[in-house]
Amino acid sequence: MRHLIDPLDFTVEEIEALLDVADEIAADRQAFRQVCQGKTLATLFYEASTRTRLSFEAAMLNLGGNVLGFATADSSSAAKGESVADTIRTVSCYADICAMRHPKEGAPLRASRYSRIPVINAGDGGHQHPTQTLTDLMTIRQRRKQLGHITIGLCGDLKFGRTVHSLIKSLARYEGVKFILISPEELRVPDYVIEEVLWDKGVPFVEAEDMELVMDQLDILYMTRVQKERFFNEEDYVRLKDTYILTPDKLAAAKPGMAILHPLPRVNEISIDVDDDPRAAYFEQAQNGVYVRMALIMMLLELASPVAAGARTGALQKEVR
């Protein structure tokens, strides 16, 4: 049994295969509507979510399966003091697979050690968010036709932004990727990511504070929200929250083919005036979140793509004839 806790739990080849299935789903969702009949997904969300929880639930429903779960810690027995270990042992009796979001770093990993069903990390504190990364990779591959040979600018809260940590880890495995890390001093990428991922693998990167100065170099601009919920004091959050606001005039120097990504939710960091720019890809990302999560559920439950099976049967029939 496999889990998805860290973006590196899957090889590059497995990620490519998963994205291929996600592309098949995007092309023909109807073909997948019975793949998970009789299966149940549990969504265990100890922290707020719109996209991740609802896209996981949409994914399982689109596959013909069932969903159950809780959307806040307060509405579960965590409010009475139940441990993650006991919760997952119980949920293993009710569901075939689960997605867990938790404010504590490492909680989904701990759950996976006690679980009898695959556990998916749906975001743990300021640590990792591997399924957002699958969404980001699908969107980058759609826009750029490949995952290597890009210069990507990650902008905003690079310290607490778990989507950033997971995306750096994943993209660092591809040839020709250069990172431009744009943040104020206080919100720089944590040292462990710089040392263990970028330095260790000799991946080129630079740190910058001014988004406009580097705009003309970027193939991808990945904007992020300043993570209010991870700050220790309101004063620091208020001082830093509007450091970067992407507006149409700031895009003047950007390449025509650049893609603007954002994991969402956005607060103020991308003006709504940018939404109609053809480079804006953040609502495509939200849509792709459903397709990659459908493909992920199938992969962890070891369910084959009916499209691939159909294509194989068709090829075999041709051979026999």
Active-site residue numbers?
Answer: 51-52, 80, 101, 129
**Shortest reach from residue 172's CB to ligand CP, in Å:** 21
Q: Kindly state whether residue 50 participates in binding ligand CP, applying the rule CB under 6 A.
A: yes
Q: Based on CB atoms, which residue is closest to ligand CP, 40 or 52?
A: 52
**Shortest reach from residue 41's CB to ligand CP, in Å:** 15
Task: Specify the stretch interacting with ligand CP by CB under 6 A; choose among 28-36, 185-193, 209-217, 263-271.
Answer: 263-271
H-helix or E-strand spanning residue 220: strand 220-223
Q: Based on CB atoms, which residue is closest to ligand CP, 153 or 161?
A: 161
Closest CA to 194 of 163, 172, 214, 162: 172
Q: Based on CB atoms, which residue is closest to ligand CP, 7 or 123?
A: 123
**Shortest reach from residue 134's CB to ligand CP, in Å:** 12
Q: Based on CB atoms, which residue is closest to ligand CP, 121 or 151?
A: 121
Task: Specify the stretch interacting with ligand CP by CB under 6 A; choose among 137-145, 193-201, 251-259, 260-268.
Answer: 260-268
Within the chain, where are the H helices?
12-27, 51-62, 84-91, 107-114, 130-144, 162-171, 191-193, 200-201, 211-214, 234-240, 282-300, 306-320
Answer positive or negative: Cα dihedral of 2, 137, 273, 290: negative
Q: Based on CB atoms, which residue is closest to ligand CP, 272 or 320?
A: 272
Q: Kindly state whether residue 51 participates in binding ligand CP, applying the rule CB under 6 A.
A: yes
Can you tell me the distance from the alpha carbon of 187 to that of 156, in angstroms, rounded to the nearest whole number? 7
Q: Kindly state whether residue 161 participates in binding ligand CP, applying the rule CB under 6 A.
A: no
Copy the structure tokens of residue 57. Answer: 């639930």
Which of 40, 52, 139, 170 touches ligand CP by CB under 6 A?
Answer: 52
- Dihedrals φ, ψ of 108, to 5°? -65, -35
Copy the structure tokens of residue 141. Answer: 């591959």
Cβ atoms within 10 Å, residue 300: 18
Which of 21, 263, 274, 298 touches ligand CP by CB under 6 A?
Answer: 263
Q: Kindly state whether residue 49 participates in binding ligand CP, applying the rule CB under 6 A.
A: yes
E strands along 183-258, which residues? Answer: 205-208, 220-223
Maximal CA-CA distance, the chain: 74
Q: Based on CB atoms, which residue is closest to ligand CP, 99 or 117?
A: 99
Q: Kindly state whether residue 264 participates in binding ligand CP, applying the rule CB under 6 A.
A: yes
Helices 51-62 and 282-300, axial angle in degrees (round to 10): 50
| Pattern 93-132, ligand CP, x by CB under 6 A | ------------------------------x--------x
Can you tell me the distance from the alpha carbon of 53 to that of 69, in angstroms, rounded to the nearest whole number? 10
Which stretches of the chain bind ligand CP, using CB under 6 A?
49-52, 123, 132, 263-265
